[in-house]
C-alpha cells in the first residue's frame, strides 16, 4: 500500500508571534519551524498502514528550503521518500492555489491513500485536505481519530457529541486526521532513523515540473487575501476579593458579579 502524507511546516506552538510592519504578515527571522502537529498524526497513521500492509510512505510538502528540515524529520520517523514543491509562484498563494499544486504532485505518485492533518495551527482554515480530495475526485473522510484498511477499503472513526461514527470508503481515498481523542501518538525519530533520513531521496520540484500553470497558484490568483493581523486585546488584571472571613468574601463576590460584572 502506497501512502502520501501532505505535510505543512508551521511555527512552533510555543513561538512568540510578532506582527510585521506591513500588518499583513508575521516576523519569521527568529521563529522555530516544526511539522504541523496535526500532520504528525497523519505521518504516524501512514507509517502504521505501511507496517501492516507494506508499501511506501511519501511526504509531500511545499514552501522554501527550510521545509526540508520538517520533511527530513518525517523521513527519520520512518517515511521513505519526500517531495518538496519549492516555487516562488506559491508565495502569497491561498489554500486553493496550494491544493492545486499538491493535487498535481499526488497524481504523479498515484498512491492508494492520502492522509493529512484536518487543520494547521497557523491559519487554521481546514481547507487543504477537502480541496485536494475534490480535485482528485476521491472520497474524503474527515476528522479521523483511527484508521484501518484491508487493502481495498479504508475505515475511519471520528468523534461526534456523545459518541463516535465509523466511516468507510473504497480506495483510493483521502483522510484528514484530527488531534484530540486519537488512538495513537506520533513516534519520535530514533538516532538510526535520523542518520538514514539523510540518505533517503527527496525531490525538489517547481510547478512547471508538475504541469501546473503558475498563474493559477500565484498570489494574484488567490481567492482569499490577508487584510490585516491584529494581536488579541490585553486581558485586564485579575481581582482578589478581600474580606474578614469566607462568608464576607462570598457576599462581596456575589455583589461584584451582580453590580459590576452584571453576569448574575
Summarised one tens digit per residue, pLDDT across range 120-138 is 999 899 999 999 999 999 9
Percent pLDDT > 90 in the chain is: 72
Go through the domains of the chain in sequence order and give each one's CATH number. Answer: 2-221 (3.40.50.620), 238-264 (no CATH)
Please give the C-alpha separations between residue 8 and each of 21, 40, 60, 65, 249, in angstroms, as whole numbers.
25, 10, 9, 13, 51
Distance of CA 78 to the CA centre of its chain: 19
Paired sense of beta strands 146-149 and 153-160, if any: antiparallel
Strands (E), the chain: 2-6, 9-11, 33-35, 56-62, 81-85, 113-117, 140-144, 146-149, 153-160, 163-170, 173-177, 202-205
CA–CA dist 95, 128 (Å, integer): 6
* Rounded CA separation 118/48 (Å): 18
SS3 170: strand
pLDDT given for residue 181 in this prediction: 61
pLDDT tens digits along 90-122: 998 999 999 999 999 999 999 999 999 999 999
Q: Among 167, 99, 92, 171, which Cα is nearest to 130's?
A: 99
Amino acid at each position: 500500500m502506497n501512502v502520501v502524507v501532505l505535510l505543512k511546516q508551521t511555527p512552533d506552538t510555543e513561538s512568540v508571534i510578532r506582527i510585521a510592519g506591513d500588518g499583513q504578515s508575521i516576523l519569521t527571522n527568529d521563529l522555530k519551524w516544526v511539522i504541523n502537529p496535526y500532520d504528525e498524526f497523519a505521518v504516524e497513521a501512514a507509517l502504521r498502514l505501511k507496517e501492516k500492509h507494506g508499501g511506501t510512505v511519501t511526504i509531500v510538502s511545499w514552501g522554501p528550503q527550510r521545509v526540508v528540515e520538517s520533511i527530513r524529520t518525517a523521513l527519520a520517523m520512518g517515511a521513505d521518500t519526500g517531495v518538496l514543491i519549492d516555487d516562488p509562484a506559491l508565495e502569497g498563494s491561498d489554500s486553493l492555489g496550494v491544493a492545486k499544486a499538491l493535487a498535481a504532485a499526488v497524481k504523479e505518485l498515484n498512491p492508494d491513500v492520502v492522509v493529512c492533518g484536518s487543520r494547521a495551527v497557523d491559519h487554521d482554515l481546514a481547507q487543504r485536505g477537502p480541496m485536494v480530495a475534490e480535485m482528485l475526485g476521491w472520497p474524503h473522510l474527515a476528522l479521523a481519530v483511527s484508521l484501518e484498511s484491508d487493502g481495498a477499503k479504508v475505515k475511519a472513526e471520528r468523534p461526534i457529541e456523545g459518541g463516535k461514527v465509523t466511516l468507510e470508503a473504497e480506495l483510493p481515498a483521502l483522510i484528514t486526521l484530527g488531534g484530540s481523542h486519537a488512538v495513537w501518538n506520533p513516534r519520535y525519530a530514533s538516532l538510526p532513523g535520523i542518520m538514514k533520513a539523510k540518505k533517503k531521496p527527496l525531490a525538489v520540484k517547481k510547478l512547471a515540473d508538475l504541469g501546473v500553470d503558475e498563474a493559477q497558484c500565484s498570489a494574484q490568483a488567490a481567492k482569499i487575501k490577508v487584510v490585516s493581523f491584529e494581536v488579541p486585546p490585553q486581558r485586564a488584571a485579575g481581582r482578589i476579593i478581600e474580606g474578614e472571613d469566607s462568608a464576607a468574601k462570598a457576599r462581596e463576590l456575589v455583589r461584584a458579579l451582580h453590580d459590576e460584572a452584571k453576569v448574575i
